[in-house]
Amino acid sequence: MLSTPSLVLAIMLFGLGVVGLLSRRNILYMLLSLEIMLNAASLAFIAAGARWGQVDGEIMFLFILTLAAAEVSVALGIVLQLSYRFRTLDADAFSEMRG
Amino acid sequence: MINLLWLIPVLPLTGFLVLALFGGRFTRQQVAWIGCGSVGMAAFTTALVGGGFFQSFPDRKFYHQTLWNWIDTSGITVGISWYLDALSLLMVAVITGIGFLIHLYSAEYMSGDDGYSRFFAYMNLFVAAMLTLVLAENLLLLYLGWEGVGLCSYLLIGFWYREPEYGTAAQKAFIVTRIGDTAFAIGLFILFTQLKSLSIQQVQSLATEAWPVGSNLAAIVTVLFLIGAVGKSAQLPLQVWLPDAMAGPTPVSALIHAATMVTAGVYLIARTHHLFALAPLVQEVIAVIGLTTLLLAACSALVQHDIKRVLAYSTMSQIGYMFLALGVGAWSAALFHFLTHSCFKALLFLAAGSVIHSLHHEQDIFRMGGLRRHLPWTFWTFLIGAAAMSGVPLITSGFYSKDWILWSVWSSPLSHRWIWFGALLGTLLTGLYSFRLIFRVFFGEVRTQPTGEPGLAMRIPLVVLAFFALTIGFLELPHALGNVTLFSHYLSHALPTMELLPGMDEWSEAREQLTVTVSALLGIGLAAFLFLPGSNFAARWTDQSTDRPSVTLLQGGWGFDRLYDRVFVRPWFLLTRNPGEIIDRGYQWLAVGAESCHGWMSHTQTGHVRWYAATIVVGTLMLLGLFAM
């Protein structure tokens, strides 16, 4: 199958992203991991679109791109505020909302 | 002018809305103008509409006006529509006319009260609801008005809500009448499922076609309607609320618990008389209920200490007369007694209010006395009211209406002789309790010093009502005394006339009337003999406050309160208490369980964003695993 290698790559990228998200404590690295996961999903969409000969996969990629841009701009704003208030980028330090 | 009909209920409703929304911003004088003005305008409109109605009256028997569709789905169409015929025009005229006089009276009577605008708002709402009740073209709209007047009755009985007793009295009135209302509602449901219509006229013609005389369905529906009417009109066995309802301000008692609302049951039965004609047995029950109530209430009225409670029991007794007339098929006689009764009973209540007003809210008749000289206006109007109630011959309206009822009972094929004798005893008791009140309150020595006569706003309604209490009876005179039939002729276009038994001629009528007159006068004479201060018996009979068991029984209204307390209220509380605790425990366990679960679950809320991400990942994996399987 043509699309198998790209799907395997997408799964690997997604797994790396998840592991990065869970293991990293620096919030900037966590955001990077999130970006990797998003790109893995986009890759899977494009591979599927190519497999079926449909344009939908590429359209989804464009959506995900926009989403990622929006997400990053909001997230970076929050990170800026967090570093300003807590003087650190350690995600475990921001546990004010403990139930 | 007849197309102004819709304005009649809308005007008091507008008054209510204005006073309820902006009442706090007006001065007392403005509130009184709005409150009285809206009802006065309604009375004026009624005069215009009545003029329009009479222009084409005998040819066109009713006028029908639909404003809009209230409910319109498949299978049911209910309109906000009014139906004006001879019967409803009579009711509307009484409600707006007497309503206006009582509003005028209240403007002065309530002037020292904090809830001035609240009072007028409730009163206006009551008038609007009562007009809806009597003008409704269909039974659902009638039921809306029916519940509306019940609500206003509740609000106004508990008007002085800071006294817990008054609140209890209001709740009692509301709950007891609710029993009747529920039965009435069930009757409506049965009628609708059977006949697929709620329009009063349509239902009656359909029922007359579909059901034979004496059929079970007709009996069930009419019995349910009767229970509703009995609850609203304070007849046996749902009469216990009316004496306690006297907790409200006196104008409220005059308007709601004497002149208009309590006669709604009479109106309902008269309005659906075609249905009742299909159930002769139920009609007989109505007559028996009426007779029993009128005798029991009259006995209770004889021994009450509170001036308003005497009048409350007398109201029950007089409505008993109306029910009696309905039961023997004398529809017009019942409505005639309604007309005269609403004049003289409103008059009596307003005059009693004037007495209470000038004695600093003293209501015990044993602490009154000798007011004849101090309050001449009140005395004469009260005397006229009492004379009309006890049926003093020739000059008072009550004589003619009560006489007509007794003559109908005597001559109706639906009646029995013993019912007539019971009603005759009732006339004697009426004279006795009415004049006991007069002799106690206005004769003898002064026990509480009065402050003086009321002002003009209270005196005008008294005089106007006294005039009507004397003269309104001349609308219908018996054969022996001029044979005027204006009233029965007028109502014969809406209600059937009664057939007489064979052999009833003018001579037997005159003989019967003479007996009734003698009985009423005997009652008054007996009252003078027993209660006029200075008579030999007076001293012995004044001492009614002793704890003789018979007197206590009568004072408590024949012990119905205690009976209902034992039979219904206490077992119910018992039922709600013991198993209630067990059921409550179950719910408590539920609450405790939910709380501990919540405490346990809240440990997962660590505040660490990576922990949350991990739970999402684990959850997703589990879901995927579930799908993969």
Cβ separation of A22 and B613 shorter than 8 Å?
yes
pLDDT value at A11 more than 90: yes
- Mean pLDDT across chain B, nearest whole number? 86
Q: Is B617 in contact with A95 (Cβ distance < 8 A)?
A: no
What ipTM, to 2 d.p.? 0.87
Residues in contact with B490: Cβ distance below 8 Å, sequence separation at least 6, in sequence order = B86
Q: How many C-beta atoms lie closer than 10 Å to residue B549's C-beta?
A: 7
Q: CB contact, 8 Å: B606 with chain A?
A: yes
Lookup result for tokens 């809210």: B361
Residues in A whose CB is inside 8 Å of some CB of B read 18, 21-22, 25, 30, 91-92, 94-99
Count of CB atoms within 10 A of residue B104's CB? 22
pLDDT at position B363 is 82
What is the nearest CA distance from B585 to chain A, expressed in angstroms? 29
Cβ neighbour number for residue B140 with a 10 Å cutoff: 17
Average pLDDT over residues B275-279: 88
- Report chain B residues whose CB lies below 8 A from the CB of A25: 610
- Using a pLDDT cut of 70, give the percent of chain B over it: 97
The two tokens of residue B200 are 């009063």
Q: Per the structure block, which two tokens stand in for B140?
A: 């659902």
Closest in B603, B609, B614 to A94, CB measured: B609
B78 sits in which H/E element? strand B76-85
User: How far apart (Å, rounded) are the C-alpha atoms in residues B552 and B546?
Assistant: 9
- Residue B534 has a pLDDT of 67
Instruction: Count CB neighbours of B300 within 10 A.
Output: 26
pLDDT of residue B385 exceeding 70, the answer is yes
Chain A residues lying within 8 Å of B609, measured CB to CB: 30, 91, 94
Quick one: pLDDT at residue B563?
85
Query: Are the CB atoms for B289 and B323 separated by under 8 Å?
Result: yes
Give the torsion sign (CA, B552, B553, B559, B562).
positive
Contact B613 A21 (CB under 8 A): yes
What b-and-e string marks burial along A8-27, b requiring 16 or more CB atoms within 10 Å of the CB?
eebeebbeebbebbeebeeb
DSSP letter string over B468-522? HHHHGGGGB--GGGT--BHHHHHHTTTSPPPPPPTT--HHHHHHHHHHHHHHHHH
Q: Which residues contact B110 (CB under 8 A, 6 or more apart)?
A: B116, B119, B249, B251
- The tens digit of pLDDT for each residue in B146-176 reads 999 999 999 999 888 888 888 888 998 999 9
- Looking at residue B122, its amino acid is Y
Cα-based distances in Å from B79 to B140, B190, B192, B539:
9, 20, 15, 62
Over residues B442-456, the pLDDT tens digits come to 887 777 777 877 788
Section A17-26 average pLDDT: 91
Q: What is the mean pLDDT of chain A?
A: 89
pLDDT at B79 over 80: yes
Contacts of A95 in chain B (CB under 8 A): 606-608
Q: Using alpha carbons only, how large is chain A's radius of gyration in Å?
A: 17
DSSP state of B589: H
pLDDT at position A46: 92
Higher model confidence: residue B68 or residue B538? B68
Tokens of B626: 């579930």
Burial class (CB in 10 A: 0-12, 13-18, 19+), B536: exposed
In Å, how far are B1, B61, B83, B86 from B53, measured between CA atoms?
A: 8, 9, 12, 9
Q: Which of B177-181, B276-280, B539-543, B561-565 has the lowest mean pLDDT?
A: B539-543
Interchain CB distance below 8 Å, B605 and A98: yes
CB-CB neighbors (< 8 A) of B602 in chain A = 99
Whether residue A94 and residue B607 make contact (CB cut-off 8 A), yes or no, is: yes
Who's near B584: CB < 8 A, 6+ residues apart? none
